[in-house]
Structure 1
Amino acid sequence: MSRRSRDDRGQAFPIYITVVAGLLFLAFAYFAVGQAAATRNGAQTAADAAALAAAQDVRDQIFEGFLDAVESEDAWQDWLGGSGLTGVDGAAACAEAAGFAAKNRASADPCQCTEAECTVGVRTDYTVGESIVPGTEGMRGEADATAVVEPRCRVEGDDTDSIEFSCDGEDWIIDPDDLDDPDVLPEAADLFSVYLSE
């Protein structure tokens, strides 16, 4: 009777080894999936930051164009509305995107900016790394993001003599003679919101 019991224990040992090996394989596989997810999340973070940086640069360009239009008594309403503009330097905005992507260990390409939005694609400079899954050592994270530049304001009045407008319930009156005084001027963020598109 005791001899049979020892034989049963001996037969169970290979099953035990097989189960442990299977569990270890699953653990390493889950680790590989986690590495891939972390790389993908890193790429998305870099894309979001790059798109927001580019859109903020576009917003600043529009704001400067608005102030120049006020000073030259040009059609400042066009700048305030943010539509139909031709003075936005998309290359400069994309340079900002590239800088922020690099801070997140990624490369920004492609990048496209208009006066209304910036779309940036990124690829991580780092890979998923070696794992039990073949080929992961060369895999890089890729993602894209779009940031929107949206006017907050509506013009009060219908002529260009009075520079009055309202932005999200806050009223502004600008005197062209006070353009050098930052204390009386709105900031770019007061006139335009920048946010990631869903």
Structure 2
Amino acid sequence: MTDSRDAGQAAPIYITMVAGLLFLALAFFAVGQAGATRNSAQSGADAAALAAAQESRDRFAEELLTNFFMPGYLDNIFNGSPVGPVIGCAAARQLADKNGVEVKPNGCNALGGTSWGFTVDVRTQEPMGDNILPGTEDKKAEATATAVVEPRCMFKPAEDDGESEENPEPGEEGEEEPSLPGELVCNGRGLDLDPKNLVLPDMSVLFSVRLAED
């Protein structure tokens, strides 16, 4: 009789303990789910910012080629503070959509000033959904990321030996033969460029794109 009575008294305790453990498990799951949603938003923001910066870098090729022989231009670009085109937000929105996030209204902006890059603000396309945390059912996770474009190379201006020909030999069309304004050195090696038929390497060789540190 005593054992039966003790077992009956212990049953509610066991039920309460199991219920408590289940509640904790659900709470940990909800917190983990929220964390995963926030991580997804941050990953989407990072990818979108990088896409915007890469688009701007790639579009810079035409401007660089056009102004390559302009005095002082390469020195300013590779040894100064280059700023490329502010076009890139369309690429950011496109990649954000592929990653399950959306760029917020007015959420993609070029850095401006002497900095070349973009800051992108996103939010998840879907809310966090029903879970044990009250008030989060319709809430969307948000995140921000900034990506910058930086030169991989340095420019070494051509040395002026102080001598110039009074009557330089004309080219085939009666013009001076073009010459490089200097040398682009990337990873310790100078680029082999032909001034008569200038073809630049891929922009990824000349400029890197990375996420800015907080």
TM bucket, shorter chain = 0.7 to 0.9
Task: Give the corresponding residue for 2:94.
Answer: 99
Query: Is it true that 1:83 corresponds to 2:102 in the alignment?
Result: no
Larger Rg: 2
1:43 matched residue in structure 2: 41
Once the two structures are TM-superposed, the CA of residue 21 in structure 1 deviates from its matched residue by: 0.8
Conserved? CA contact 2:50–2:210, under 8 Å: yes
The answer as to whether partners of 2:158 and 2:183 remain within 8 angstroms in 1 is no
Q: Distance in 2 between matches of 1:21 and 1:192?
A: 58
The answer for unaligned runs of 5 or more in structure 1 is: none
Q: Secondary structure at the match of 1:17?
A: helix
Q: Distance in 2 between matches of 1:170 and 1:12?
A: 79
Amino acid at match of 1:21: A
User: Separation in 1 of the partners of 2:71 and 2:59?
Assistant: 16
Per mean C-alpha deviation after superposition, the further-off stretch among 75-84 and 59-68 is 75-84
Deviates more, 1:155-164 or 1:97-106: 155-164
1:122 is matched with 122
The separation in 2 between residues aligned to 1:98 and 1:75, in whole angstroms, is: 36
Aligned to 2:204: 189
Report the AA paired with residue 33 of structure 1: V
Q: Tell me the secondary structure at the aligned position of residue 174 of structure 1.
A: coil
Q: Distance in 1 between matches of 2:12 and 2:180?
A: 91
- 1:117 to partner: Cα distance: 1.9
Pairing partner for 1:28 from 26, 29, 48: 26
Which structure 2 segments of 5+ residues have no match? 160-178
| Pairwise CA distance, 1:82 | 6.4
8 Å CA contact 1:82–1:116 kept in 2: the answer is no
Tell me the distance in 1 between the aligned counterparts of 2:51 and 2:19: 48
| Deviation, structure 1 residue 158 | 4.8
* TM score, norm. by length of structure 1: 0.85
| Bigger helix share | 1
Which residue matches 2:6?
A: 8
Q: Is the alpha carbon distance of 1:89 and 1:156 closer, same or farther for their aligned partners in structure 2, counting shifts above 3 Å? A: closer
Deviates more, 1:5-14 or 1:75-84: 75-84
Q: How big is each residue's C-alpha offset from its partner over 1:79-111, in whole Å with a ceiling of 9 and x where there is no partner?
A: 4446264xx442x31111111111111111311
TM-score, reference length from structure 2: 0.79
**Could you say which residue in structure 1 is the equivalent of 2:183?**
164
Alignment root-mean-square deviation, CA = 2.1
1:124–1:74 Cα change, 3 Å: farther
Structure 1 residues 37-74: Cα deviation after superposition (integer angstroms, max 9, x where no partner): 1110110110010011011112113332111112x646
Query: Once the 2 structures are TM-superposed, how far is the Cα of residue 75 of structure 1 from its aligned partner?
Result: 4.7
Residue 50 of structure 2 aligns with which residue? 52
Paired with 1:21 and 1:111, the residues of 2 have a C-alpha distance of: 47
Provide the residue aligned with 1:178 in structure 2.
Answer: 197
Q: How many residues align?
A: 188
SS in 1 for 2:190: strand
